[in-house]
Amino acid sequence: MKIINTNQNSFKNDFETILQRAKSDIKGVSKIVENIIDEIVQDGNEALKRHIEKFDKWQVKNDDDLLIPQEDMKKAYDNLDLNLKKSLHTAFDRIKNYHEKQLPKSWIDFEDNGTILGQKVTPVDRAGLYIPGGKAAYPSSLLMNAIPALVAKVKEIIVCTPTPNNEVNELLLAACYLCKVSKVYKVGGASAIAAMAYGTKTIPKVDVITGPGNIFVATAKKMVFGEVNIDMIAGPSEIGVLADETANPRYVAFDLLSQAEHDEMASSILITTDDNLAKSVSVEVSNILKDLSRKDIAQKSIDERGAIIVASNITEAISLMNEIAPEHLEVMTKNPFELLPYIKHAGAIFLGENTPEPIGDYIAGPNHTLPTGSTAKFYSPLNVENFLKKSSIISFSKNAINELGEACALLADTEGLEAHAKSVRVRLENK
């Protein structure tokens, strides 16, 4: 891995390149995606069938073929290897437990003049989860998307997932059973997003669409935003590691590679205050890479998008990391908790050497759907609130409107909204 030093002349340029990391080229595919969405809006199921035949290479004979039979989910769950079932349950329980802590409550508050103000929290009626299929079918993504919806008490959770050659991922189905998913449809890509946003004869219109996907899926999600809500627009995966001389170079190397193996576009960045650690990690990465099954992907990611930065001190290191705002941030320093107040922007923060990033992908509890490409500066991890919305509650008493009505009407006057002012003043006449 290339090692760069913050006191090199070229550093500013090098760092700029790191910040400009892989952005999804939404503009490049937007015309294609727009056409796909238009087709679904116009032709519904018939368009879905055409797209499945084209992309997933199997023939849908009738509308019912789009839906995976309910009993297949239970069967997949019943047939699970016992060890795997146990692990899935552990993950399910821990993820559920964490997300329950996020659940906001409706609240109400009172004033002495009789005013009542509050906020009512309500789940959306129907959530649509997009879960990639085929080679990139990640059952863990199903847990991470369905459980927050389940905790939010969404009445109906549906899933769309592509099934190349009509083959379904059994572990994904088992996870759907565990998460009480209502319906699973064998539909993928931008077509699935359009179907859930606008509805077809078979697939119902949803209120919120969440879940990962390729550039076509991400672009479709952006395009239907407003028609439905979406979680975020995510790009390639990333890890940032903040480490001092106490870090174990082998651990750091494995963790960097656990992101690199995802995707050639993934980026893995170590920022350290220790020159020696930088060198040892670089050597370890090369050694471990040789034997990895996904070596080609990981090698390309490390070569083209990986970097080790040596900073003058921990303050500089943190400040650079805040600029990167990584999806995953590991802190392997002497006392990682001390640094927490200074870490401003990161999707998930992993503290200490016993917290490798994959722990957060599967089993820790927090969500693994996280903002990428510096969007941790404004997006949150997927969470229960993505499946809820709020309504303000306002109730004024006669006393309250008598006390505050004229101030309100005066502001309406200033904005030239006469009926606004009058609708208040008409209530003051009888005071």
170-178 vs 82-100: helix axis angle to the nearest 10?
A: 50
Nearest Cα neighbor of 145 from 53, 231, 255, 253 is 231
Instruction: Determine, following the binding rule CB under 8 A, whether residue 21 of this chain makes contact with a copy of itself.
Output: no
Q: Which of 251, 267, 277, 305 binds a copy of itself (CB under 8 A)?
A: 251
* Per-position x/- string for 55-74, each x denoting binding to a copy of itself as judged by CB under 8 A, each - no binding: --------------------
- Output the smallest distance, CB 192 to a copy of itself, in A: 18
Q: Which is nearer to a copy of itself, 181 or 197 (CB)?
A: 197
Kindly state the tokens that stand for 381: 């991890």
- Interatomic CA distance for residues 146 and 144, integer angstroms: 6
Instruction: Determine, following the binding rule CB under 8 A, whether residue 376 of this chain makes contact with a copy of itself.
Output: yes
Q: Are 263 and 237 in contact (CB under 8 A)?
A: yes
| Owner of token pair 């998460």 | 179
Q: Which of 73, 88, 217, 317 binds a copy of itself (CB under 8 A)?
A: 88
Instruction: Determine, following the binding rule CB under 8 A, whether residue 31 of this chain makes contact with a copy of itself.
Output: no
Kindly state the tokens that stand for 157: 């959770």
Instruction: Determine, following the binding rule CB under 8 A, whether residue 361 of this chain makes contact with a copy of itself.
Output: yes
Q: Which of 125, 275, 303, 304 binds a copy of itself (CB under 8 A)?
A: 125
Q: Which of 228, 266, 321, 332 binds a copy of itself (CB under 8 A)?
A: 228
Which run of H or E residues covers position 409? helix 398-414
Instruction: Determine, following the binding rule CB under 8 A, whether residue 29 of this chain makes contact with a copy of itself.
Output: no
- Considering CB under 8 A, how many residues would be counted as binding a copy of itself? 124
Bridge partner list, 331:
242, 351
Instruction: Determine, following the binding rule CB under 8 A, whether residue 9 of this chain makes contact with a copy of itself.
Output: no
Instruction: Determine, following the binding rule CB under 8 A, whether residue 82 of this chain makes contact with a copy of itself.
Output: no
List the catalytic residues: 327-328
- Output the smallest distance, CB 387 to a copy of itself, in A: 9
Instruction: Determine, following the binding rule CB under 8 A, whether residue 397 of this chain makes contact with a copy of itself.
Output: yes
Q: Which stretch binds a copy of itself (CB under 8 A): 58-66, 85-93, 157-165, 275-283?
A: 85-93
Nearest Cα neighbor of 218 from 383, 375, 70 is 375
DSSP for 7-53, written as a single string: TSTTHHHHHHHHHT-----HHHHHHHHHHHHHHHHHHTHHHHHHHII
- Tell me which residues in 203-222 interact with a copy of itself (CB under 8 A): 207-208, 222
Instruction: Determine, following the binding rule CB under 8 A, whether residue 426 of this chain makes contact with a copy of itself.
Output: yes
Kindly state the tokens that stand for 133: 């299929």
Instruction: Determine, following the binding rule CB under 8 A, whether residue 263 of this chain makes contact with a copy of itself.
Output: no
Instruction: Determine, following the binding rule CB under 8 A, whether residue 292 of this chain makes contact with a copy of itself.
Output: yes
Q: Which is nearer to a copy of itself, 4 or 222 (CB)?
A: 222
Q: Where are the alpha helices (DSSP H) in 215-368?
A: 215-224, 249-260, 275-290, 295-305, 314-324, 357-362
- Burial-class residue 409 by CB neighbours within 10 Å (0-12, 13-18, 19+): buried
The answer to the question of whether 109 is labelled as a binding residue is no
- Paired sense of beta strands 116-123 and 388-395, if any: antiparallel
Q: Are 258 and 357 in contact (CB under 8 A)?
A: yes
Q: Which stretch binds a copy of itself (CB under 8 A): 66-74, 101-109, 186-194, 305-313?
A: 101-109
Q: Which of 7, 10, 165, 392 binds a copy of itself (CB under 8 A)?
A: 392
The answer to the question of whether 328 is labelled as a binding residue is yes
Q: Which is nearer to a copy of itself, 10 or 83 (CB)?
A: 83
The answer to the question of whether 89 is labelled as a binding residue is no
- Output the smallest distance, CB 120 to a copy of itself, in A: 7
Nearest Cα neighbor of 331 from 281, 262, 272 is 272
- Interatomic CA distance for residues 196 and 203, integer angstroms: 7
Instruction: Determine, following the binding rule CB under 8 A, whether residue 266 of this chain makes contact with a copy of itself.
Output: no
The answer to the question of whether 24 is labelled as a binding residue is no
Q: Which is nearer to a copy of itself, 60 or 178 (CB)?
A: 178
The answer to the question of whether 259 is labelled as a binding residue is yes
Q: Which stretch binds a copy of itself (CB under 8 A): 11-19, 71-79, 108-116, 144-152?
A: 108-116
DSSP for 107-170, written as a single string: EEEE-TTS-EEEEEEEE-SEEEEE---GGG--HHHHHHHHHHHHHTT-SEEEEE---GGGPPPH
3-state secondary structure of 95: helix
Give binding residues for Zn(2+) as ranges: 259, 262, 361, 420
Annotated binding site for substrate: 237, 259, 262, 328, 361, 415, 420
